[in-house]
Structure 1
Amino acid sequence: MPLTYLTHTFGCKLNFSETATIARMLEERGLQQARKGDHPDIVVVNTCSVTGEADKKCRQTIRAIARRHPHAAIAVTGCYVQLHPEEASSLPGVVVTAGIDRKLQIAGYLDRWLAERQPTVDVNKASLIKDFAPSCSRGDRTRWFLKVQDGCDYWCTYCTIPKARGRSRSATIEQLVGQASQVAADGGREIVITGVNIGDFGKLTGERFIDLCRALDTVEGIDRYRISSIEPDLLTDEIINFVASSRRFMPHFHLPLQSGSDHVLQLMRRHYDTSLFASRIEKILHTMPDAFIGVDLITGAMGETPAHFDESLRFIERLPVSRLHVFPYSERAGTRALEIRPRVEPSERHERCRTMIAVSDRKLAEFQRRYEGTTRKVLVEHSVSADGHMYGFTDNYIKVEMPADPGLFNRIVDTRLTAGGKDFMKGIPAK
Structure 2
Amino acid sequence: MKNKVAFYTLGCKLNYSETSTIARSFSNSGYEHVEFEERADIYVINTCSVTENADKRFKTIVRKAQKINPEAFLIAIGCYAQLKPEELASVDGVDLVLGATEKFKITDYLNDLSKNEFGEVHSCEIQEADFYVGSYSLGDRTRAFLKVQDGCDYKCTYCTIPLARGISRSDKLENVLDNARQIAGQGVREIVLTGVNIGDYGKGEFGNKKHEHTFYELVQALDKVEGVDRLRISSIEPNLLKDETIRFVADSRTFVPHFHIPLQSGSNEVLKRMRRRYMRELYVDRVSKIKGLMPDACIGVDVIVGFPGETEEQFLETYHFLNDLDISYLHVFTYSERANTEAAKMPDPVPQKIKQKRSKMLRGLSVKKRRAFYESQIGNTKTVLFEGENKEGYIHGFTENYVKVRAPWDPSLCNTLQEVKLEEIDEGGMVRFNFVSEKIEA
Which residue matches 2:216?
Answer: 210
Give the distance between the partners of 2:32 and 2:386, measured in 1 at CA: 27
Judging changes above 3 Å, is the alpha-carbon distance between structure 1 residues 115 and 65 closer, same or farther for their aligned structure 2 residues?
A: closer
Contact map agreement 2:144 2:190 (CA 8 A) in 1 = yes
Contact map agreement 1:101 1:129 (CA 8 A) in 2 = yes
**SS of alignment partner, residue 349 of structure 2:** coil
What whole-Å deviation, never above 9, does each CA across 1:265-311 have from its counterpart, x for those lacking one?
Answer: 00100000000011000000001111000000000101101111111
Which residue matches 1:282?
Answer: 288
| 1:350-389 superposed matches below 5 A | 350-385=356-391, 387-389=392-394
What whole-Å deviation, never above 9, does each CA across 1:165-200 have from its counterpart, x for those lacking one?
Answer: 111011010110011011111112110000000011
Of 274-283 and 119-128, deviating more is 119-128
Q: Does 1:6 align with 2:6?
A: yes
Give the distance between the partners of 2:94 and 2:137, measured in 1 at CA: 25
Give, as a single letter, the amino acid of the residue that structure 1 aligns with 2:305.
T
Q: Given the alignment, which residue of 246, 262, 278 partners 1:240? A: 246
Give the distance between the partners of 1:150 and 1:86, measured in 2 at CA: 24
Gapped runs of 5+ residues in structure 1? none
| 1:86-125 superposed matches below 5 A | 86-110=86-110, 112-114=111-113, 121-125=121-125
| 1:71-82 superposed matches below 5 A | 71-82=71-82
Give the distance between the partners of 2:37 and 2:324, measured in 1 at CA: 49
Which residue matches 1:429?
Answer: 435
Which residue matches 1:188?
Answer: 188
Q: Does 1:390 align with 2:389?
A: no
Contact map agreement 2:71 2:115 (CA 8 A) in 1 = no
What whole-Å deviation, never above 9, does each CA across 1:76-106 have from its counterpart, x for those lacking one?
Answer: 1001100001111222332321112222212
- Residue 114 of structure 1, CA deviation: 4.0
Contact map agreement 1:99 1:122 (CA 8 A) in 2 = yes
Give, as a single letter, the amino acid of the residue that structure 2 aligns with 1:198.
I
Give, as a single letter, the amino acid of the residue that structure 1 aligns with 2:341.
T
Contact map agreement 1:109 1:120 (CA 8 A) in 2 = no
- Residue 421 of structure 1, CA deviation: 4.3
Which residue matches 1:408?
Answer: 413
Which residue matches 1:339?
Answer: 345
Give the distance between the partners of 1:421 and 1:330, measured in 2 at CA: 34
Q: Does 1:259 align with 2:258?
A: no
Count of paired positions: 429
Q: Does 1:50 align with 2:50?
A: yes
Q: Does 1:225 align with 2:224?
A: no
- Residue 390 of structure 1, CA deviation: 1.0
Give the distance between the partners of 2:215 and 2:344, measured in 1 at CA: 34
Which residue matches 2:171?
Answer: 171
**SS of alignment partner, residue 377 of structure 2:** coil
Give the distance between the partners of 1:389 and 1:319, measured in 2 at CA: 33
Give the distance between the partners of 2:254 and 2:12, measured in 1 at CA: 23
Contact map agreement 1:365 1:422 (CA 8 A) in 2 = no
Contact map agreement 2:37 2:68 (CA 8 A) in 1 = no
**SS of alignment partner, residue 432 of structure 2:** strand
Which residue matches 1:84?
Answer: 84
- Residue 113 of structure 1, CA deviation: 2.7
Give, as a single letter, the amino acid of the residue that structure 1 aligns with 2:231.
Y
Contact map agreement 1:66 1:92 (CA 8 A) in 2 = no
Give the distance between the partners of 2:287 and 2:38, measured in 1 at CA: 49
Which consecutive aligned stretches of 4+ in structure 1 deviate over 6 angstroms post-superposition?
115-119
- Residue 36 of structure 1, CA deviation: 7.4
| 1:142-181 superposed matches below 5 A | 142-181=142-181
Contact map agreement 2:73 2:115 (CA 8 A) in 1 = no
Contact map agreement 1:364 1:423 (CA 8 A) in 2 = no
**SS of alignment partner, residue 277 of structure 1:** helix
Give the distance between the partners of 1:47 and 1:423, measured in 2 at CA: 31
What whole-Å deviation, never above 9, does each CA across 1:150-175 have from its counterpart, x for those lacking one?
Answer: 00111101111110111101101011
Give the distance between the partners of 1:115 and 1:429, measured in 2 at CA: 56
Structure-2-length-normalised TM-score? 0.93
Give the distance between the partners of 2:108 and 2:48, measured in 1 at CA: 22
- Residue 4 of structure 1, CA deviation: 1.8
Q: CA RMSD in A?
A: 1.9
Which residue matches 2:208?
Answer: none
| 1:291-310 superposed matches below 5 A | 291-310=297-316
Which residue matches 2:330?
Answer: 324
Of 198-207 and 392-401, deviating more is 198-207
**SS of alignment partner, residue 203 of structure 1:** coil
Give the distance between the partners of 1:372 and 1:162, measured in 2 at CA: 42
Of 301-310 and 88-97, deviating more is 88-97
Contact map agreement 1:101 1:132 (CA 8 A) in 2 = no
Contact map agreement 2:6 2:40 (CA 8 A) in 1 = yes
**SS of alignment partner, residue 337 of structure 2:** coil
Judging changes above 3 Å, is the alpha-carbon distance between structure 1 residues 102 and 37 closer, same or farther for their aligned structure 2 residues?
A: closer
Give the distance between the partners of 1:37 and 1:137, measured in 2 at CA: 20
Gapped runs of 5+ residues in structure 2? 205-210
Give, as a single letter, the amino acid of the residue that structure 2 aligns with 1:312.
T
Q: Does 1:134 align with 2:139?
A: no
Of 4-13 and 54-63, deviating more is 54-63
Judging changes above 3 Å, is the alpha-carbon distance between structure 1 residues 49 and 116 closer, same or farther for their aligned structure 2 residues?
A: closer
Give, as a single letter, the amino acid of the residue that structure 1 aligns with 2:413.
L
Contact map agreement 1:63 1:91 (CA 8 A) in 2 = no
- Residue 428 of structure 1, CA deviation: 3.4
% identity of equivalent residues: 46
- Residue 321 of structure 1, CA deviation: 0.2
What whole-Å deviation, never above 9, does each CA across 1:45-87 have from its counterpart, x for those lacking one?
Answer: 0000001221122133223422442111111100110000111
Give the distance between the partners of 2:164 and 2:123, measured in 1 at CA: 11
**SS of alignment partner, residue 196 of structure 1:** coil
Give the distance between the partners of 1:207 and 1:52, measured in 2 at CA: 36
